[in-house]
Structure 1
Amino acid sequence: MTIQAINVRNQFKGKVKAIIEGSVVSEVDVETPAGIVTSVITTRSVKDLGLTIGSEVVALVKATEVSIAKL
């Protein structure tokens, strides 16, 4: 799947700096030029996205939600 367009305007490209994995949810720290963005996502999503330290991602911020798309 390739993202061709998205309506979320607040996007921060970066690399995964840290993953604190829990049994249900995990914290993912993304290092961006604007600073560290932390997202709390399901541990299943971390595994499904294949996120590891150094993965290139985009943090998508809308209201109080931060989503991550792997590049």
Structure 2
Amino acid sequence: MKVSARNSFKGTVKKIIPGAINTEVLLEIAPGIEVNAIITKTSVENLNLTIGQPAYAMIKSSDVIVAID
């Protein structure tokens, strides 16, 4: 698999919360570190996502903002 996204994190599907149109998918990319994604219900079906399955969180953004308190 080749992608243009600069940030790709391999993880495990921890939770799938279906909605009417979009579905929330929670990936654990390291112990205690999770990434939450909102994707279409159709995408979840096309990927055949199931809990415990390996998957990648790919993040492509033209801006990254750093902030402090």
% identity of equivalent residues = 41
Q: Which of these two proteins has the greater Rg computed from alpha carbons? A: 2
Task: State the alpha-carbon separation in 1 of the partners of residues 48 and 30 from structure 2.
Answer: 23
2:28 alignment counterpart: 31
2:13 alignment counterpart: 16
1:69 alignment counterpart: none
Query: TM-score of the superposition, structure 1-length normalised?
Result: 0.79
Question: Larger relative contact order (C-alpha < 8 A, sep ≥ 6)?
Answer: 2
RMSD across aligned C-alpha pairs, in angstroms? 1.6
2:39 alignment counterpart: 41
Shift of 1:9: 1.4
**Counterpart amino acid of residue 54 in structure 1:** G
Structure 1: which 4+ aligned runs deviate by more than 6 Å?
none
Task: State the alpha-carbon separation in 2 of the partners of residues 46 and 6 from structure 1.
Answer: 19
- Which one has the bigger strand percentage? 1
Query: TM-score of the superposition, structure 2-length normalised?
Result: 0.81
Shift of 1:33: 1.7
